[in-house]
Chain A
Amino acid sequence: DTGVSQNPRHKITKRGQNVTFRCDPISEHNRLYWYRQTLGQGPEFLTYFQNEAQLEKSRLLSDRFSAERPKGSFSTLEIQRTEQGDSAMYLCASSSFNQPQHFGDGTRLSIL
Chain B
Amino acid sequence: DQQVKQNSPSLSVQEGRISILNCDYTNSMFDYFLWYKKYPAEGPTFLISISSIKDKNEDGRFTVFLNKSAKHLSLHIVPSQPGDSAVYFCAASASAGGTSYGKLTFGQGTILTVHP
Which residues of A are in contact with B by a Cβ distance under 8 Å?
A: 4, 31, 33, 35, 40-45, 48, 50, 55-56, 91, 93, 95, 97-106
Residues from chain B with a CB closer than 8 A to the CB of A106 are 43
User: How far does the Cβ of A53 sit from chain B's closest Cβ, in whole Å?
Assistant: 11
Q: How far is the CA of A45 from the CA of B108 in the complex (A)?
A: 13
In the assembly, what is the distance between CA of A57 and CA of B97, in Å?
Answer: 15
Whether A42 contacts B89 in the complex (CB less than 8 A), given A99-B101, A100-B49, comes out as yes
Whether the Cβ atoms of A43 and B104 lie closer than 8 Å is yes
Set A33, A40, A41: member contacting B103, Cβ < 8 A: A33
Alpha-carbon gap, A65 to B68, bound state (A)? 37
Q: Across the interface, do A105 and B41 meet the contact criterion of CB distance under 8 Å?
A: yes
A44, B3: Cα distance in complex, Å: 12
Contacts of B106 in A (CB 8 A): 42-44
- Taking CB atoms and an 8 Å cut-off, the chain B residues in 29-64 that contact chain A are 34, 36, 41-46, 49
- A103 CA to B43 CA in the complex, in Å? 6
CB < 8 Å neighbour of A97 from B4, B46, B99: B99
Select the residue from B34, B97, B103 with max chain A CB neighbours within 10 A: B103
Q: How large is the interface on B (under 10, 10 to 19, 20 to 34, 35 or more residues)?
A: 20 to 34
Of all chain A residues, the one with the shortest Cβ separation from B96 is A56
Question: How distant is A5 from chain B, measured CB to nearest CB, in Å?
Answer: 11
B91 on interface, CB distance cutoff 8 Å: yes
Task: Check A102–B46 contact: CB distance below 8 A.
Answer: yes
A99–B102 alpha-carbon span in the complex (Å): 9
Q: How far is the CB of B41 from chain A (nearest CB, A)?
A: 7
User: What are 17 A-B pairs at a CB distance below 8 A?
Assistant: A4-B43, A41-B108, A41-B109, A42-B108, A42-B109, A43-B89, A44-B106, A48-B102, A50-B97, A55-B97, A91-B44, A93-B43, A95-B101, A97-B99, A101-B46, A101-B101, A106-B43
